[in-house]
Structures are given as structure tokens and as C-alpha cells.
């Protein structure tokens, strides 16, 4: 947990979210400013700043994040979807807690 991190606060329930999935390691919730009809974020509960902060010890966790994407996309009614991981300020990352965007269902505009 990082004290000032909004996704840590969502993960521990101190900030509300429109949650669509939760287990011991992961949480998924709808993006507050959606770029598509369906736009949710898959977030490891563990505070990792970005994909660039991942190491070999995170390999299994990263696999779980990716494997959850098609499962939740199907549950949300998507026949196909886009995934996006913004990494670093220059990569368009705004929240520095690792997350994967999953978007679909039309009206999708690519996030820069
Ligand atoms: P990034 O640019 O870091 O990849 O994307 C961060 C995403 O988090 C943005 O799409 C933004 O709309 C979303 N976001 C930021 N703050 C909150 C929040 O408090 N709740 C939810 N549900 N989404 C948020
Ligand atoms: Zn965090």
C-alpha cells in the first residue's frame, strides 16, 4: 500500500469504485472516465508503480492479470476488446499503480 495512491485506496475499499471483480490479488473496476462503452481496469492489489517496475517475481501476477481480461470482457458482453498498459509519464500513464485497461463495445477512442 502506498499512502497517496488512488488505486491502493480503491483496492483497500477506502475509496469507492464500480467494482466488477475481486480476489486476493486482483481487483477490476469501471474506469471513471470511460473511452468506450465498456472500459474497465484490472489492477493488482499490490502497489507496483508500472510495468517498468515489474521484475521476475511478478511474472505469475502479470499472467493472472492478462488471463482475467478475456474472462471479464466476456462477462461484460464483449465479443472482442482492446487492452492497453500505459507505462511512465511519457507513455501516457496518469495513475502510477500498474493497471491494464480493457475496452470494447464501440465508441472506443485510443488513449494516448
Ligand atoms: P492511465 O493513463 O494511468 O493508464 O489511466 C488511468 C485511468 O484511471 C484513467 O483512464 C482514469 O480515467 C482512471 N481513473 C483515475 N482516477 C480514477 C478513480 O478514482 N476511479 C476510477 N474508477 N478510475 C479512475
Ligand atoms: Zn498503489
| Ligand 1 atom closest to 92 (CA) | 2
Which ligand is nearest the CA of 2, by number?
2
pLDDT over 90 (residue 109): no
Vertex 19, ends 18 and 24: CA angle to 5°? 155
Ligand that lies nearest to the alpha carbon of residue 20, given by its number in the listed order: 1
This prediction has a pTM of 0.95
How confident is the model over 28-49, as a mean pLDDT? 97
Q: Are 85 and 51 in contact (CB under 8 A)?
A: yes
pLDDT of residue 68: 98
Amino acid at each position: 500500500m502506498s499512502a497517496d495512491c488512488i488505486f491502493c485506496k480503491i483496492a483497500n475499499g477506502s475509496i469507492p469504485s464500480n467494482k466488477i471483480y475481486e480476489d486476493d490479488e486482483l481487483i477490476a473496476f469501471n474506469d471513471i472516465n470511460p473511452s468506450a462503452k465498456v472500459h474497465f481496469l484490472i489492477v493488482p492489489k499490490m502497489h507496483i508503480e508500472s510495468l517498468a517496475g515489474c521484475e521476475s517475481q511478478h511474472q505469475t501476477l502479470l499472467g493472472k492479470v492478462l488471463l482475467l481480461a478475456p474472462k471479464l470482457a466476456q462477462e461484460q458482453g464483449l465479443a472482442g476488446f482492446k487492452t492497453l498498459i500505459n507505462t511512465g509519464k511519457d507513455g501516457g500513464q496518469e495513475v502510477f499503480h500498474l493497471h491494464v485497461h480493457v475496452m470494447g463495445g464501440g465508441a472506443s477512442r485510443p488513449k494516448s
